[in-house]
Amino acid sequence: MFLKNVWYVAGPSSDFGEDVVSRRICDRPVAFYRKSDGSIAALHDRCPHRFVPLSMGQREDDSLRCGYHGLRFGPDGVCDDKPAGDQENPAKICTQHFAVEERYGYAWIWMGEAENAKPAMIPDFSFITSGEFKCEAGYLKVQGHHELITDNLLDLSHVNYLHPQISGGSHWSEWDNRVEVDGNTVWSRLSRPNQKPGAFQKMLWGSDSERGDGRGDVRWDAPSVLYANTAITEVGADIETSGFHTPSAHFLTPETATSTHYFWVTGRNMAKDDEKVSAMMEKGVGEVFETQDGPMVEAEQEAMGNSTDFLAHKPLILKADAAGIRARRILRKLIRDEQETEGSTAVQEVVE
C-alpha cells in the first residue's frame, strides 16, 4: 500500500525531454514527456484497451498514440482520437494523468488525482538551488522497501560500525540525540560537542583545530523524502553561521513494494570550485551506499521476504530506532486516513 496524495520524486528534470520516458512509481508504470510549452506530462503508461504501454507507441504533438490499435491520449488523459471514430465506441475513454511540478532541479509527481495536487506540500530542499552550496547528485536502485532506507538515514548509530572511515573515532553513545515531531514531519537531531572530526571533514573544514562542535540533523517527510545536514565548527562557535556544512537530500521513491528509486544530492559550502573534490564526493557518496548501506538494506528485505511490514516481524527495538518508528507510525496513519476517506467517498457515490 502506498500513500497517493503526496509528492514523489520522479527524477531529475534533465531526465525528461521530448522523448517518452517510462518509469514505475508506486508499482504503477508512468509515461513522462515534456510538452511543447515546456511542462512535463505524466500518463498512466497503460492503454485501457489491451493494457499495452503507451510508451511503446508514438508521440504526436502533445499526445501519445497507442502503437497497437491507434487510440490517442492527450496530456489530460482523455482519448482525443479514435481511428474508427465514435461509431466504434461513443463512451469517453481515459487513462489517468498525474500532476507534475518541477522544483529544486527535480520533477515531483502527485500519485493521487491530479486535481487534488497541492504544490505547497513539496518539502523545502532549497539548498540545492540556492547557490550557497556546490552540489553533486546521483541515483541508485535499491532492492528493498523504501522505509528500510528511511530507517537507515534516520538512525546514525550505525556510522561507527558500517562507516568507520567517516566516524572520526567518536561514538553515538557520546552524542545527544533528540527526536522531534512537528505535525507530520520527524526530526532526528544529533548534537556532537567537542568531537574529533572524521578524515573527510578534517580535509575540507580548513581548520587546524583537532576538535569542533558538530551536528547531524535529519528531517523526514512522508512518504520518504529526507533532508540531512551534517556540520562542524569551532568549539563554542555558532554552528548555524559558521563552519563546514554538508546538506544532503535523499529522495526515496518506491518502484515496487520491494524496490526503491534512490535519488540523492549532497552539497558543501567549502572547496566549491575544486573539481577533484566534486568528483570525489560524487563517487564517494554513491559508493558508500552502494557497497555499505545498500547491501545491509537489501539483506533486511531478503530476510523479510515479500513482507514490507517490518514491525510485524517483532524486531528488537533500540533507542536509535525512535525516529524511524515515529515516521512509520505517521505514514501508516496517513495511509489509513486516505483509504478511509476514499472508502467514504465511494460509498457516497453509490448512494447518490
Is the same domain home to 295 and 163?
yes
Q: How many domains does the chain have?
A: 2
Domain-ending residue, one of 96, 120, 144: 120
Residues 188 and 105 in one domain: no
- Return d(Cα 137, Cα 285) in angstroms, integer: 9
Query: Residue 346 above 60 pLDDT?
Result: no
CA dihedral 226, 227, 232, 233 (to 10 degrees): -150
pLDDT confidence bin for 169, thresholds 50/70/90: low
Q: Are residues 132 and 245 in the same domain?
A: yes
* Residue 48 sits in the same domain as residue 135: no
Quick one: pLDDT at residue 95?
96
Q: Based on the domain organization, do 104 and 172 belong to the same domain?
A: no
Whether residues 18 and 69 fall in one domain: yes
Instruction: Tell me, yes or no, whether 345 lies in a domain.
Output: no
Euclidean distance between CA atoms 205 and 14, whole angstroms: 32
The pLDDT tens digits of the residues spanning 182-211 come to 999 999 999 888 988 877 888 889 899 999
Predicted confidence at residue 31, as pLDDT, reads: 98
Listed in sequence order, the residues at least 6 apart from 225 whose beta carbon sits closer than 8 Å to its beta carbon are: 7, 9, 123, 249, 250, 251, 252
Strand order in the sheet with 63-65: 58-60, 63-65, 72-73, 79-81
Cα distances (Å, whole numbers) of residue 164 to 120, 150, 193, 221, 274: 39, 20, 19, 28, 25
The string of pLDDT tens digits covering residues 107-144 is 999 999 999 999 999 999 999 999 999 999 999 999 99
Of residues 157 and 304, the one with the higher pLDDT is: 304
Confidence of residue 35 (pLDDT cuts 50, 70, 90): very high
**What is the pLDDT confidence band of residue 347, given thresholds at 50, 70 and 90?**
very low
Task: Give the pLDDT score at 170.
Answer: 63
**Mean pLDDT on 217-235:** 96
Do 194 and 246 reside in the same domain of the chain? Answer: yes
Residues 108 and 152 in one domain: no
Instruction: Give the torsion sign (CA, 335, 10, 266, 135).
Output: negative
Mean pLDDT, the chain, integer: 92
The stretch 53-74 carries a mean pLDDT of 96
pLDDT for the residue 172: 67
| Residues 45-63: tens digit of each pLDDT | 999 999 999 999 999 999 9
Q: What is the CATH number of the domain that holds 199?
A: 3.90.380.10
- For 75-102, how does the pLDDT look when each residue is reduced to its tens digit (9 = 90+)? 999 999 988 777 667 678 899 999 999 9
> Is residue 247, in this structure, part of any structural domain at all?
yes
For the segment 227-253, the average pLDDT, to the nearest whole number, is 95
Q: Which band of pLDDT confidence, cut at 50, 70 and 90, is reported for residue 157?
A: confident
Q: Which domain holds residue 105?
A: 7-120
- Please check whether residue 63 lies inside any domain of the structure: yes
> Which 3-state string (H, E, C) describes the chain?
CCCCCCEEEEEEHHHCCCCCEEEEECCEEEEEEECCCCCEEEEECCCCCCCCCHHHCEEECCEEECCCCCCEECCCCEEEECCCCCCCCCCCCECCECEEEEECCEEEEECCCHHHCCHHHCCCCHHHCCCCCEEEEEEEEECCCHHHHHHHHHCHHHHHHHCHHHHCCCCHHHCEEEEEEECCEEEEEEEEEEECCCHHHHHHHCCCCCCEEEEEEEEEECCCEEEEEEEEECCCCCCCCCCEEEEEEEEEEEEECCEEEEEEEEEECCCCCCHHHHHHHHHHHHHHHHHHHHHHHHHHHHHHCCCCCHHHHCCCCCHHHHHHHHHHHHHHHHHHHHHHHHHHHHHHHHHC
Closest residue by Cα to residue 7 from 120, 104, 115: 120
User: Of 104, 120, 136, at which residue does a domain stop?
Assistant: 120
Whether 246 contacts 229, CB under 8 Å: yes
Segment 230-242 shows an average pLDDT of 94
Does 331 or 351 have the greater pLDDT score? 331
Residue tagged 527526536 (cell numbers): 179
